[in-house]
């Protein structure tokens, strides 16, 4: 018998002890890992990869834009909108199977 823990998607992000602009670093690492976004990816490819994590909804383009901002690939992120977008990504990831950090 398999338990839910065996089927869970495990995501990881680490906190840095120093630096400027690292508030969202652990979350960015989680999203990069889940979407397979490389730091060398062009912005359009990163957007495609993040979009694959999400269902096709009217909010999808806005979520993708906020998350790519979080990854440091676009304009400076707005904290409130970033929290919303990250929540949507994590909800989408957990919709298919349990997730844990």
Q: Where does the pLDDT of residue 64 fall: very low under 50, low under 70, confident under 90, or very high at 90 and above?
A: very high
Instruction: Give per-residue pLDDT as tens, 24-47.
Output: 888 889 999 999 999 899 999 999
Q: pLDDT value at position 89?
A: 92
CA neighbours closer than 13 Å in the CB half-sphere of residue 23 = 8
Q: pLDDT value at position 18?
A: 80
Q: Is-above-0.85 flag for pTM?
A: no
Structure tokens at 6: 């065996």
Contacts of 2 (CB under 8 A, 6+ apart): none
């Amino acid at each position: 018998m398999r338990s839910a823990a065996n089927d869970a998607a495990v995501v990881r992000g680490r906190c840095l002890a120093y630096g400027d602009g690292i508030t969202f670093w652990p979350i960015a690492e989680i999203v990069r890992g889940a979407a397979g976004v490389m730091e060398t990816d062009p912005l359009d490819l990163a957007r495609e990869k993040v979009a694959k994590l999400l269902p096709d909804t009217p909010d999808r383009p806005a979520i993708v834009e906020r998350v790519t901002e979080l990854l440091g690939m676009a304009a400076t992120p707005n904290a409130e909108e970033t929290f919303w977008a990250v929540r949507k990504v994590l909800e989408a990831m957990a919709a298919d199977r349990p997730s844990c950090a």
